[in-house]
């Protein structure tokens, strides 16, 4: 009896939005099975998985930021900076064991810059990260002088090459990131403080949560996860330059919001984020398979994001109505 | 040396800018004692609560818990055993009930949903036995009605070992049954040795459980007595300040509103009702008359005023402006009939604080009167209005942030004066302004009224009611319990109506002595 009860709640409560996303995916899947059966070939599915890895890692970081009530539009710039750092240092002959930690450190440091602007100087996140996005990207272009790093070190190439039936290490890494994030968000106090802080900073302060710690946690974790993503991003592309990953943050934010995260903070889930990434990446892949023109891809992606957000909004409107109608006495 | 009290506050003071929020306040709370902290809006209650909770720091004085000095900081207060239930509840609406109750940061690294749920269940069972919340531990708090949210907040405060429980207006949103339940529970807690500090307006609730009273007025202790030593009237007197009775009645005579002839009914409402907020209210506002609407916080005053300008819809009843029946769709259509509501929270819902004084003055009508969208002449008029209203600022271009509270309020009034409003509903127009600004605002209101406007002022301050009113309306629990001329009522009758809903008797209260 208890299990049926909790199952019901699973459907009606906690994962309402995720269920809707899953339904949306199902519809897309059926449509694809008819229009492009090739989509479900094992080769294509492996390709899809590979394309999802990096997006998913950065999205998990972005979920942390959005949960805390913030936003980071410098994620694309951070991805580019770390990619170039990895490749350049690697090409200079530094070993993987030196380059990889340096890359992670770079990501963490750039995230910390964002966090400091937001937590210490109280600059609104959108403004702070817009500023740093320009700054990071500009410094990177100055450093590279706009030139391509057209080859990557052999060890990095090995990281990105497909094995295990077309899958590469990014898939494994993304899975590990998901696991680690699930542990942190749900099983640790600092993880929960992210939800609390994002939900109500005032109430959080009144329960003794530091007004800075969640901000640092969010932006630095995004920096680190983006740096991990950058390893695979560079490895898969095989060449990087200063304009890499332009606009990447928008895809990532779209995926997280599509996944049901509340852009005002405090609400969101890893499962939703995963489904959001899956939906966006499958859609993109499918449209390529169907030879749909590029601008149509934008239109379709935009429409799906809006649809997802409308789904979660109506849910919230409905919920507010429920509260208003129920007798408060 | 006497054994140390559970909580001892020694002469704490707190200043915000130049204003003293608390002046030399001292109190002691013993184990097992229920101390009622009372006083009307702005008396310093919430500042005291904030300081005890550790989210604000006193400027001088010290707080001791069982003899040990309490350091600042929220966690420190908690560790010392102080739990606070805030009036706004301070819950996390997007998180589950279980997490709200038992998910407090503990200083440990790990967190477990299951353990939180178990702790929440235990806490709920301890607090109220068979709680309806037990069935919705996994629901988000924003899906619950208000009374249930309150229970979540209470269960949260009691989920950890608190020896001092502070409740800020806990019964304001509760039904009678829930209130009974809460009060009984507080008594049980007290008998278990918890010290309870109960902040409330509701005298009827307070008198049922308090062992001791502390009343704050203008940031200072106005009364500190045990329950046995004090009567209901003495409490009310201390809360509202009886010392100024003479001064107030003199002022009324000087103002002499009685000879002024009312020019006719401007606004009439009949039997308006809005479920849960006010019911069957009928009032008439007349040109040339200042009516003051009073009542305790939560009695439905503000809701009623908002409904008059169409910000809330009523279910039954009708409105007439200058004899014509009207139905207003919102403030914009109310304005078209010269009917204006000036909210209490001027910073958030009244003014554009980052914009200039001139822009704020034109805020109401600039867009209606600008010539082809240009405001040239209007700005000159605004400047004239600024000097006319005695608004002290650097000039019409200075932003409102730089003005004092009193001058901000004057800007708000001047705006509607410029807009030609002739029916004004003013919600606490002098809240948070200093005494001289208050006198000036009163003077303006009288002039305005003498010029033929109909004014309805909402005020919780007895002095202001008696000072300013030609006519007095009193709300109690959503009904109009008193509608009379100023000279037909004295302070005691007014306070009795506010507190008990009836001007003469105190029959709602079973209390020893204190009858007039």
Which residue in chain A is spatially nearest to B104 when comparing CA positions? A207
Please tell me whether residues B327 and B438 are part of one structural domain: yes
The pLDDT mean for chain B works out to 80
Interface-testing mutation among A206, A213, A266, A321, with chain B (most B C-beta atoms within 10 A): A206
Q: How do residues A131-175 score in pLDDT, each as one tens digit?
A: 999 999 999 999 988 888 888 888 888 887 777 777 888 899 999
The pTM for the full model equals 0.76
Which residue in chain B is spatially nearest to A6 when comparing CA positions? B138
Q: How do residues B48-74 score in pLDDT, each as one tens digit?
A: 998 998 888 888 889 999 888 888 888
Residue tagged 């630095």 (tokens): A220
Highest mean pLDDT among B188-202, B256-270, B347-361: B188-202
Please tell me whether residues B193 and B302 are part of one structural domain: no
pLDDT value at residue A219: 97
Task: Please indicate, yes or no, if residue B431 is contained in any of the structural domains.
Answer: yes
Domain edge (last residue) among B368, B387, B419:
B419
User: How many whole angstroms separate alpha carbon B511 and alpha carbon B135?
Assistant: 39
Q: How do residues B277-311 score in pLDDT, each as one tens digit?
A: 888 899 998 888 999 999 877 788 888 988 888 88
Domain edge (last residue) among B240, B266, B294:
B240
User: How many whole angstroms separate alpha carbon B67 and alpha carbon B63?
Assistant: 9
Indicate yes or no: CB of B146 within 8 angstroms of CB of A9. no
Q: How confident is the model at residue B258 (pLDDT cuts 50, 70, 90)?
A: very low
Give A307→chain B minimum CA distance, Å.
22
Comparing B196-200, B211-215, B243-247, B394-398, the range with the smallest average pLDDT is B243-247
Residue in B93, B99, B276 nearest the CB of A329: B276
Tokens of residue B252, six digits: 């009324």
Q: How do residues A185-218 score in pLDDT, each as one tens digit?
A: 988 888 888 999 999 998 888 888 888 999 999 9
**How many DSSP H helices and E strands does chain B contain?**
18, 20
Task: Please indicate, yes or no, if residue B453 is contained in any of the structural domains.
Answer: yes
Indicate yes or no: CB of B104 within 8 angstroms of CB of A199. no
Please tell me whether residues B101 and B57 are part of one structural domain: yes
Please tell me whether residues B360 and B446 are part of one structural domain: no
Task: Please indicate, yes or no, if residue B348 is contained in any of the structural domains.
Answer: no
Contact B167, B199 (CB under 8 A): yes
Task: Please indicate, yes or no, if residue B320 is contained in any of the structural domains.
Answer: yes
Residue in A14, A189, A200 nearest the CB of B105: A189
Angle at B215 between CA B291 and CA B501, to 5 degrees: 40
Please tell me whether residues B433 and B331 are part of one structural domain: yes
Please tell me whether residues B69 and B156 are part of one structural domain: yes
Task: List chain A residues with CB under 8 Å of B104.
Answer: 207-208
How many domains does the structure of chain B reveal? 3
- Per the model's pLDDT, the better-predicted residue between B358 and B247 turns out to be B358
Please tell me whether residues B409 and B492 are part of one structural domain: no
Indicate yes or no: CB of A200 within 8 angstroms of CB of B92. yes
CATH value at residue B184: 3.40.50.300
H, E, C per residue of chain A:
CHHHHHHHHHHHCCCHHHHHHHHHHHHHHHHHHHHCHHHHCHHHHHHHHHHHHHHHHHHHHHHHHHHCCCCCCCHHHHHHHHHHHHHHHHHCCCCHHHHHHHHHHHHHHHHHHHHHHHHCCCCCHHHHHHHHHHHHHHHHHHHHCCCCECCCCHHHHHHHCCECCCECHHHHHHHHHHHHHHHHHHHEHHHHHHHHHHHCHHHHHHCCCCCCHHHHHHHHHHHHHHHHHHHHHHHHHCCECCCCCCCHHHHHHHHHHHCCCCCCCCCCCHHHHHHHHHHHHHHHHHHHHCCCCHHHHHHHHHHHHHHHHHHHHHHHHHHHHHHHHCCCC
pLDDT value at residue A290: 87
pLDDT value at residue A67: 95
Which residue in chain B is spatially nearest to A199 when comparing CA positions? B92
Tokens of residue B312, six digits: 């809330």
Which residue in chain B is spatially nearest to A321 when comparing CA positions? B143
Tokens of residue A257, six digits: 């919001």
pLDDT value at residue B70: 87
Evaluate if residue B85 carries a pLDDT over 60: yes
Task: List chain B residues with CB under 8 Å of A266.
Answer: 92-95
Domain edge (last residue) among B221, B240, B259:
B240
pLDDT value at residue B344: 82
Please tell me whether residues B193 and B107 are part of one structural domain: yes
pLDDT value at residue A97: 87
Task: List chain B residues with CB under 8 Å of A208.
Answer: 73-75, 78, 104-105
Regions of chain A where pLDDT drops below 70: 1-15, 314-329
Indicate yes or no: CB of A323 within 8 angstroms of CB of B145. yes
Domain that holds residue B441: 251-338+422-516
Residues of A with CB under 8 A from a CB of B: 6, 9, 13-14, 186-193, 195-196, 199-200, 202-209, 262, 266-267, 319-320, 322-323, 326-329
Please tell me whether residues B369 and B427 are part of one structural domain: no
- The count of residues in chain A is 329
Indicate yes or no: CB of B84 within 8 angstroms of CB of A14. no
Indicate yes or no: CB of B90 within 8 angstroms of CB of A202. yes
Please tell me whether residues B69 and B164 are part of one structural domain: yes
Task: Please indicate, yes or no, if residue B115 is contained in any of the structural domains.
Answer: yes
Range B433-454 average pLDDT? 85
Indicate yes or no: CB of A206 within 8 angstroms of CB of B109. no
Tokens of residue B210, six digits: 């308090």
Evaluate if residue B174 carries a pLDDT over 90: no
User: How many whole angstroms separate alpha carbon B432 and alpha carbon B435?
Assistant: 9
Indicate yes or no: CB of A319 within 8 angstroms of CB of B142. yes
Give B270→chain A minimum CA distance, Å.
25
Task: Please indicate, yes or no, if residue B36 is contained in any of the structural domains.
Answer: yes
Give A121→chain B minimum CA distance, Å.
20
Which residue in chain B is spatially nearest to A13 when comparing CA positions? B139
Instruction: Give the three-state DSSP class for B316.
Output: strand
**Residue A147 region by backbone torsions, left for phi larger than 0, else alpha for psi between -120 and 50, else beta:** beta
- Per the model's pLDDT, the better-predicted residue between A270 and B370 turns out to be A270
Task: Please indicate, yes or no, if residue B30 is contained in any of the structural domains.
Answer: yes
Task: List chain B residues with CB under 8 Å of A189.
Answer: 105-111
pLDDT value at residue A183: 92
pLDDT value at residue B176: 64
Please tell me whether residues B191 and B307 are part of one structural domain: no
Please tell me whether residues B12 and B67 are part of one structural domain: yes
Task: List chain A residues with CB under 8 Å of B313.
Answer: none
Between the two ends of chain A, the Cα-to-Cα distance in Å is 32
pLDDT value at residue A11: 38
Task: Please indicate, yes or no, if residue B484 is contained in any of the structural domains.
Answer: yes
pLDDT value at residue B144: 81
Highest mean pLDDT among A253-267, B236-250, B397-411: A253-267
Residue in A6, A199, A206 nearest the CB of B86: A206
Range B116-130 average pLDDT? 81
Instruction: Give the three-state DSSP class for B341.
Output: strand
Range B83-104 average pLDDT? 85
Indicate yes or no: CB of B74 within 8 angstroms of CB of A205. yes
Task: List chain B residues with CB under 8 Å of A6.
Answer: 138
DSSP string, B398-427: SBGGGS-HHHHHHHHHHHHHHTT--EEEEE
């Amino acid at each position: 009896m208890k299990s049926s009860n909790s199952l019901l709640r699973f459907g009606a409560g906690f994962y309402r939005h995720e269920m809707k996303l899953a339904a949306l995916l199902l519809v897309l899947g059926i449509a694809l099975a008819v229009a492009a059966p090739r989509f479900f070939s094992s080769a294509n599915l492996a390709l899809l998985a590979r394309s999802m890895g990096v997006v998913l890692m950065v999205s998990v970081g972005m979920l942390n930021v959005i949960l805390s009530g913030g936003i980071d539009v410098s994620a694309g710039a951070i991805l580019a900076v770390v990619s170039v750092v990895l490749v350049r240092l690697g090409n200079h002959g530094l070993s993987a064991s030196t380059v990889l930690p340096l890359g992670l450190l770079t990501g963490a440091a750039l995230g910390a810059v964002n966090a400091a602007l937001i937590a210490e100087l109280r600059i609104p996140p959108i403004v702070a990260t817009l500023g740093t996005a320009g700054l990071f990207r500009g410094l990177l272009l100055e450093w590279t002088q706009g030139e391509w790093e057209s080859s990557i070190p052999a060890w990095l190439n090995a990281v990105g090459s497909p094995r295990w039936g077309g899958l590469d290490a990014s898939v494994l890494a993304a899975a590990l990131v998901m696991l680690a994030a699930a542990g942190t968000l749900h099983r640790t106090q600092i993880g929960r403080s992210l939800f609390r802080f994002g939900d109500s900073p005032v109430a959080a302060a009144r329960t003794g949560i530091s007004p800075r710690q969640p901000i640092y946690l969010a932006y630095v974790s995004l920096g680190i996860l983006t740096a991990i993503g950058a390893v695979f991003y560079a490895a898969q592309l095989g060449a990087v330059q200063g304009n890499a990953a332009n606009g990447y943050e928008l895809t990532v934010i779209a995926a997280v919001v599509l996944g049901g995260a509340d852009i005002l903070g405090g609400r969101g889930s890893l499962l939703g984020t995963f489904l959001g990434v899956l939906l966006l990446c499958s859609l993109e892949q499918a449209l390529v398979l169907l030879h749909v023109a590029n601008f149509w891809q934008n239109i379709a992606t935009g429409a799906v994001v809006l649809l997802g957000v409308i789904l979660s909004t109506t849910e919230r409107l409905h919920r507010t109505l429920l509260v208003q109608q129920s007798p408060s006495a | 040396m006497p054994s140390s009290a559970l909580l001892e506050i020694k002469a704490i003071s707190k200043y915000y800018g130049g204003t003293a929020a608390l002046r030399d306040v001292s109190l002691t709370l013993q184990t097992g004692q229920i101390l009622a902290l009372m006083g009307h809006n702005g008396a310093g209650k919430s500042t005291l609560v904030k300081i005890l909770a550790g989210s604000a720091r006193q400027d001088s004085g010290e707080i001791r818990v069982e003899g040990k000095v309490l350091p600042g900081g929220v966690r420190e207060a908690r560790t010392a055993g102080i739990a606070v239930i805030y009036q706004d509840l301070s819950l996390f609406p997007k998180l589950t009930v279980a997490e709200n109750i038992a998910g407090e940061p503990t200083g440990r690294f790990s967190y477990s949903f299951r353990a939180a749920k178990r702790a929440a269940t235990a806490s709920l069972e301890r607090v109220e036995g068979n709680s309806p919340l037990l069935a919705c531990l996994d629901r988000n708090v924003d899906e619950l009605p208000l009374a249930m949210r309150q229970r979540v907040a209470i269960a949260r405060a009691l989920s950890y070992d608190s020896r001092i429980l502070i409740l800020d207006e806990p019964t304001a949103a509760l039904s009678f049954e829930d209130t009974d339940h809460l009060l009984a529970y507080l008594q049980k807690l007290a008998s278990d040795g918890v010290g309870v500090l109960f902040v409330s307006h509701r005298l009827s609730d307070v008198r049922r459980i308090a062992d001791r009273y502390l009343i704050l007025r203008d940031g200072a202790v106005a009364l500190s007595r045990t329950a046995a030593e004090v009567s209901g009237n003495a409490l009310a007197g201390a809360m509202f300040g009886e010392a100024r009775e003479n001064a107030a009645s003199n002022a009324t005579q000087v103002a002499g509103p009685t000879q002024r002839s009312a020019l006719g009914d401007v606004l009439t409402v009949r039997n308006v009702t809005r479920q849960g907020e006010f019911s069957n209210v009928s009032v008439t506002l007349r040109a040339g008359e200042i009516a003051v609407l009073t009542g305790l916080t939560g009695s439905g005053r503000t809701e009623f005023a908002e409904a008059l300008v169409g910000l809330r819809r009523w279910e039954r009843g009708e409105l007439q402006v200058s004899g014509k029946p009207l139905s207003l769709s919102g403030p914009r259509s109310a304005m078209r009939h010269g009917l204006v509501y000036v909210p209490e929270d001027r910073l958030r819902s009244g003014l554009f604080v980052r914009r200039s004084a001139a822009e704020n003055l034109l805020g109401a009508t600039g867009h209606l009167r600008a010539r082809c969208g240009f405001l040239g002449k209007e700005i000159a008029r605004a400047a004239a209005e600024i000097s006319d209203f005695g608004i002290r600022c650097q000039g019409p271009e200075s932003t409102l942030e730089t003005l004092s509270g009193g001058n901000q309020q004057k800007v708000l009034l001047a705006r509607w004066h410029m807009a030609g409003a002739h029916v004004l509903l003013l919600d606490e127009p002098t809240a948070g302004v200093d005494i001289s600004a208050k006198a000036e605002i009163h003077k303006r209101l009288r002039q305005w009224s003498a010029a033929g406007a109909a004014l309805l002022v909402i005020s919780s301050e007895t002095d202001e009611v008696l000072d300013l009113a030609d006519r007095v309306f009193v709300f109690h629990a959503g009904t109009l319990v008193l509608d009379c001329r100023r000279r037909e009522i004295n302070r005691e009758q007014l306070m009795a109506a506010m507190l008990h809903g009836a001007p003469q008797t105190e029959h709602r209260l079973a209390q020893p002595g204190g009858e007039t």
